[in-house]
Structure formats: C-alpha cells, structure tokens
Amino acid sequence: MERERFGSRLGFILISAGCAIGLGNVWRFPYITGEYGGAAFLVMYLVFLVVLGLPIMVMEFAVGRGSQRSIARAFNVLEPAGTHWHKYKWVGIAGCYLLMMFYTTVAGWMLAYVPKFASGQFVGADSQATSAVFDAMLASPVECVFWMVVVCVVSILICSLGVQKGVERITKAMMLALLAILGVLVVRALTLPGAADGVAFYLLPDFPKIFGSPDMFFEAAYAAMGQAFFTLSIGMGSMTIFGSYIDKHRSLMGEAATIGVLDTGVALATGLIIFPACFAFGVAPDSGPGLVFITLPSVFEQMWGGQVWGTLFFVFMSFAALSTVIAVFEGILRFSMDQWGWSRKRAVTVNLIAIPLLSLPCALGFNVLSDVVMPGVGDIQTVEDFLVSSNIMPLGSLVYVLFCVSRRGWGWKNFLAEANEGEGLKFPRWLRPWMRFGVPVLVVIILIMGWVPIVSSWM
C-alpha cells in the first residue's frame, strides 16, 4: 500500500500546530503567565521551549520521516539488530488512548457551550448563574456522554476520509478559522474600557514573583519547564506520524520552530482575550475550567454583543480541542494500519466503537462515577490526565532523546542527517552533550516532580 502524504507544507505545519494547540495550552498558559510574573515568566518559558521542547519535537519528527512509519513500526525500522526500542510503541499508543479517554469529554464540554451561548442561555447571567449551568452539565450523564460521542464520531469520520482529503483539508480549515476568530476576539478585548490593566497584569514583568525567594524561583522554573514540555504534545508518537507524512524538502528544526511560534502565539493571544476582558469588568481571573466555563461566560454577557462574542470564543475553543483530537485519532488509526496491516476502513470501524466506550468512565466521572477517586490525585479525569501528562509524555520523550543520541539506538549521526536534510534552520551538531545529558536530566526532574505532591499526600 502506497504511503499517504500531506498535500502541502502548510498542511503539515497547521496540523502539527493543531495537535500542539490544546485546551490546557489556551486556558492554563495565560493564567500561569500572570501568576508567575507576566513577561518575566514568559522569558523563562521561551528559554525552556528552545532548549527542551523544540529539540525533542525535532527528534520525534526525524524518527517519523526517517522510518516513514508511525510509532508502531518506526523504531523497528531504525533500531540496531538485537535492541528493543520498539517495545515503547505499546506505551506510546496506550498514552494516545488514555489521552482520548478524557480529552474527548472536555472537548465535548467546549462543543456543548457553542449552542448554549448561541441560543441565549447565558443572557443576563452572573457568575453564580453560569456556575449553575456548568454544574448542571457535569451532573447530567446523558449530556456529557452525548457530546463526548459527537466529538468521537465527527473526528473519526474526518480521519476516515484519508490524510489529504480528511485530516489535512479539514484541520487546515479549522486552524485558519481558529486564527481568524482569535484575531477578532483579541481586537475586541483590547478595545474594552480598562483593558490596559489586564494587559499590564499579563505582560508587564513582575520580577519579585520569580526572584522573591529561592522557593519562588524554583516553583516558577518548574512551571515554565513543564509548560514548555507539555505544550508541544511530544513523547507519544503524535509527531512521529506527521513526520512520516512529509517530504525531505525542508529541515526539521525550521519546521519545529514555526510550529512552536504558532503554538506559543495562540497561547499568548488567548491571554490577551481573557485578562483584558476580566479586568475591564472587575472580575478576578481564575484558573482551569472555572475560568473558561464560569468566569468568562459572565464576562462576555456584560459586553455589548456578548452573545456573539461568547459564541465565537467557544467556537475557537472547540476548534482548538477538535484539532488535537483529530491529530491523535489519526495516529491511533495509523498505528493499527502499520502494526497489523489493517485498511483505514477497518481501523475506523474498530476505533469508532472502542474510543467512545473507553471514554465513558471519564464522561460519567462527574456524575454516576463521581465517587471514584484516587487518593492524592483526584477523579477519573485527573487520574487519566496525570498518567499521560506526568508519566507517559516525559517517559516517551526520554526514549526518543536516548534513541537519537545513543550508539545503541539510531545514533547521533543518523539523526542529524535526517533532521538537517532540506532547506531551512539546521539542528546544531554541537548540541550533542546537551541532548545526551542536559535534556534527560530535565525530563527526569519533570517525572519526579509530578509524583512528589502525590507521594507526599500518601505519607
């Protein structure tokens, strides 16, 4: 069977960026930037993005393009005889399924809010009323399961059309629409009376929040390192599959840098919507789901034309969520096709049944299964998120790095030759000591720090 390809470089960049631009990226990044000193934190984040996140992304792209396979067979093709790097594929694909087991539910919430806003359900609502709407949605197993299934069916059916006609064409359209809506919302937020205070809170450097004490500095550094690491969706094979779909006309460092700029730009721009809007109406910004589903709806309803702006915001958030779901679904389908020789039709049929069923525990975890919790971690969604974000992603990234620098793996020379083939920014040869020792140390720190508060709560 002939290998499917992206039809354009723009398609590859937008799809890879779509995979990286996710919900945690656009609601978590603005908040922690404000919390840890605004522009001071941003500089720290960008440093870690360049020295940690982007190099690992390049390595994952290189493994995909060099092998012309997904994670299912990539290591098999490139590894030396007698080694066992390929066994990581089972952890990687488990991570993709785990991610979808909770991400489809949260994406469903975003999608559900589009008709809620468009129909005028939030007209005149204050934060107490918007909180009641969100709580009622979570308490309804029918509503949570319905929207989760909609996300699964729509995304898998898009993937069923193939790489160019489905994944590339639809994701390109969604990403371009996402960027257009984002631009409109930023302009609207920045023109609100009192918006300047929100911009100042967000972007003016507040160095005491970082350098006030050693504890503050290390807390901010860990937050910046974690955000730079997790924002690019590396370590589970998602970028491997996209690397396998592109040609060798462009070097991979330049492509990764472009994707990193898009990803960070969207995250920054989201903050330019949230903070000016909150400060303009005297609403204290909050973090996590409360910010998106409770605080912001009440803020939008205080604006002129708030019903339109709120609807546009949740269309934007839905596109951000769906672009990630489609990208990961494509990796899951291609795994089946590469590993077992399945046709795309068979892979779609199996996963159209499997993924919604696997996602049920999370969709029911806020109502029917709300009593199911893991001590020190939390509910079903939090447990699944923890397993992916704090364990499989850093572990997988460590595997990719060691595979590309080790003589018992693919090796540094082979990686460099693949990464630097084509026009564009080259991966520096002299970075080998950093990639061999520095990056693994940082990844291990991320792994350990993810467990520290949980283990502490058990003791």
289 — pLDDT class (breaks 50, 70, 90): low
Domain that holds residue 414: 9-453
Whether the pLDDT of residue 99 is over 70: the answer is: yes
Q: Which has more pLDDT, 29 or 191? A: 191
Most distant CA atoms of the chain, gap in Å: 67
Mean pLDDT of 66-90: 96
220 — pLDDT class (breaks 50, 70, 90): confident
In a domain, 4, yes or no: no
177 — pLDDT class (breaks 50, 70, 90): very high
- Interval 424-459: pLDDT, tens: 999 999 999 999 999 999 999 999 988 988 998 888
In a domain, 76, yes or no: yes
Indicate yes or no: pTM above 0.85.
yes
Predicted confidence at residue 288, as pLDDT, reads 57
Residue 443's CATH number: 1.10.4160
- Interval 389-413: pLDDT, tens: 889 999 999 999 999 999 999 999 9
Q: Which of 31-45, 282-296, 410-424 has the highest mean pLDDT?
A: 410-424
From 260, 257, 221, 232, select the one nearest 45 (Cα to Cα): 221
Q: Which has more pLDDT, 19 or 337? A: 337
In a domain, 1, yes or no: no
Whether the pLDDT of residue 286 is over 70: the answer is: no
Mean pLDDT of 129-133: 90
Our count of domains for the chain comes to 1
Predicted confidence at residue 6, as pLDDT, reads 86
Amino acid symbol at 219: E
In a domain, 277, yes or no: yes
In a domain, 458, yes or no: no
In a domain, 2, yes or no: no
2 — pLDDT class (breaks 50, 70, 90): low
Predicted confidence at residue 239, as pLDDT, reads 92
Mean pLDDT of 175-184: 91
CB 372, CB 399: distance < 8 Å: no
- Interval 317-348: pLDDT, tens: 899 999 999 999 999 999 999 999 999 999 99
